[in-house]
Structure 1
């Protein structure tokens, strides 16, 4: 059986021949006629592709979620791999039924069950106030919410935009917050961790996830901040959490985007809210940069293409050499020990 070609196997100036999921499809107009601009993906990544005229006229419609078999050649466009399609066909429903659709779904490298268990263990260790512990554990152990959390991406694109990405992001932000709280002991650790664990919970319903990760109607109309607070409110009430603590917690959720222009209903007005905002922002930026630098070989330096979301080019620099492991101190022989004692005397 011929080995299947994945996105990760495609190189510049190489031939392309494989099955790919259409993540997005837009019909455009060129001088020589209409063409399709596609975003194709599988479990190993995403690439752009173009179907030029006259082949483009063979497809009256192309939709996200369809699987296609395409052949073509990989080139470069604006410093990114771009495929020029020579032949393409859409798979029939019976062919789709025979596929393992998991091969087209990008997932976290970490097991969602392990991440969920790690988050529960962290909460068990930090939350000593009974209402906090009841609130947090009742949410995380709720079957519906837990399953949604394990499957959800953290974004449509940019960072952690894959199955399990939300839980991965939450764990990372929670860890960052606890380390920062170690440095600033005046911080309310339990308040901060509650905000870190639930700041993006609403994304489990804001985004559809699955093969075609897009905004849901609820997500477009309300947004993840409102959705998250709405889902959490019954658990807050049942936990018996003090009103002052509940209000502060809601402030953390409402302000974690930092500024009004970034979709934040409120700006951070407490130490804990400020810390959560910066931890969330830092983790998102580092995840985005790590993803962009994955294409570099070990030790390779260079620039990425221009990143519109960051409004800059990014550079992968030379790394400082690591120091050699310290040699173990050689034990002195009895004779050498006597000489040392005499010299000291």
Structure 2
């Protein structure tokens, strides 16, 4: 295969496409004139919906996600969202010769390894309680955990849905927690930071992190909160210098960080630290969704409808950051120039 030339970010309505993409999702439907395929095509820059109608769709009894495909068609708009109406589709399998996987797997803007190092530094520098500091270090230096966290997305689709997304989200939540603790110094910052570092850890086992992002069997049946608690439990048992009361509070913050029973938390937050973690998690997830909805930061106006936020997003005019003006040196009281009396 030749090098990839056109990415999802380059697609606009009216463009004719003849390019290779990764099939991230595929489902078959039935229309009046025959079956059709609904696809989600992906590369490193993003994803786009595509439709293959009959009679072309009849050539495919099954289309599995996780394989590459050469597609031909035109970019159209459907419900304010771009999609490709396919004229041709050639499936290439999961490992075609000459394909660079880096062109097809989205990754955090900053390298996951760099984000991971910053997370370790933040916890080491800001957790004063030595047993919690040692606990965090033991978990984050475990080779299997490190590899899983580096590759994991922050979610399947809602926010940070790319390699390194989980570490990026975790670091941001820790930074939000740290900032809020400055406003509320009576809170248990050390236990809260430890919980923030591992609140979504189970997502690395809940979601697959290869060519497709989908729920694992364990993820479907248990969810990331239960999975995360199970992974951390052996480390907690070995941390005999941790006070049982602190461990109990830590566990409570993990299981309650979704905020409400309706959103998957077995318990609602019962402490101010647990409530703060819930809001810090939600702040970063929601801000990321708002920012991701804006394709062109310079274009002021309403964007397309964002399903995860259940609303349209407006990109407003903003004050651009300016360097503070240098302050003029304060002048002392003027000196009297009258001659002194003899």
Shorter-chain TM-score tier: over 0.9
Taking the TM superposition and a 5 Å limit, the aligned residue runs for 1:311-330 are 311-320=310-319, 322=321, 325-326=324-325, 329=328
Q: Deviation of residue 59 (structure 1)?
A: 1.3
Confirm or deny that 1:175 pairs with 2:192: no
Cα separation, 1, equivalents of 2:30 and 2:180: 52
Answer whether contact 2:173 2:281 (CA < 8 A) is retained. yes
Matched residue, 2:145: 145
Matched residue, 1:301: 300
Cα separation, 2, equivalents of 1:343 and 1:194: 66
Alpha-carbon spacing, 1:89–1:268, altered in 2? closer, same or farther (3 Å): same
Cα separation, 1, equivalents of 2:34 and 2:337: 92
Cα separation, 1, equivalents of 2:322 and 2:4: 42
Matched residue, 2:80: 79
Cα separation, 1, equivalents of 2:196 and 2:138: 16
Q: Deviation of residue 242 (structure 1)?
A: 0.9
Matched residue, 1:276: 277
Answer whether contact 2:293 2:306 (CA < 8 A) is retained. no
After TM superposition, the structure 1 stretch with the greater mean CA deviation from structure 2, 194-203 or 125-134, is 125-134
Cα separation, 2, equivalents of 1:323 and 1:219: 46
Alpha-carbon spacing, 1:23–1:272, altered in 2? closer, same or farther (3 Å): same
Confirm or deny that 1:194 pairs with 2:170: no
Matched residue, 1:252: 253
Q: Deviation of residue 324 (structure 1)?
A: 6.8
Secondary structure of the 2:66 match is coil
Alpha-carbon spacing, 1:22–1:131, altered in 2? closer, same or farther (3 Å): same
Taking the TM superposition and a 5 Å limit, the aligned residue runs for 1:96-175 are 96-175=96-175
Cα separation, 1, equivalents of 2:62 and 2:143: 39
Q: Deviation digits for residues 130-151 of structure 1, max 9, x if unmatched?
A: 2212211100111111111111
Matched residue, 1:52: 53
Cα separation, 1, equivalents of 2:75 and 2:225: 40
Q: Deviation of residue 288 (structure 1)?
A: 0.8
Aligned pair count reads: 337
Q: Deviation of residue 341 (structure 1)?
A: 4.1
Q: Deviation of residue 128 (structure 1)?
A: 2.3
Taking the TM superposition and a 5 Å limit, the aligned residue runs for 1:4-83 are 4-83=5-84
Cα separation, 2, equivalents of 1:267 and 1:205: 24
Could you tell me which runs of 5 or more consecutive residues in structure 1 were left unpaired when the two chains were aligned: none
Secondary structure of the 1:225 match is helix
Alpha-carbon spacing, 1:216–1:339, altered in 2? closer, same or farther (3 Å): closer
After TM superposition, the structure 1 stretch with the greater mean CA deviation from structure 2, 134-143 or 97-106, is 97-106
Cα separation, 2, equivalents of 1:255 and 1:134: 24
Cα separation, 1, equivalents of 2:261 and 2:332: 73
Secondary structure of the 1:4 match is coil
Alpha-carbon spacing, 1:2–1:245, altered in 2? closer, same or farther (3 Å): closer
Q: Deviation of residue 311 (structure 1)?
A: 2.1
Q: Deviation of residue 2 (structure 1)?
A: 7.3
Q: Deviation of residue 309 (structure 1)?
A: 2.5
TM-score, normalised by the number of residues in structure 1: 0.92
Cα separation, 2, equivalents of 1:176 and 1:260: 24
Judging by fraction of residues, say which structure has more helix: 1
Alpha-carbon spacing, 1:3–1:284, altered in 2? closer, same or farther (3 Å): closer
Cα separation, 2, equivalents of 1:131 and 1:265: 27
Alpha-carbon spacing, 1:339–1:236, altered in 2? closer, same or farther (3 Å): closer
Cα separation, 2, equivalents of 1:110 and 1:343: 63
Q: Deviation digits for residues 158-197 of structure 1, max 9, x if unmatched?
A: 1001100000000000000000000111111101101100
Matched residue, 1:230: 230
Q: CA RMSD in A?
A: 2.3
Q: Deviation of residue 92 (structure 1)?
A: 4.9
TM-score, normalised by the number of residues in structure 2: 0.93
Cα separation, 2, equivalents of 1:103 and 1:250: 39
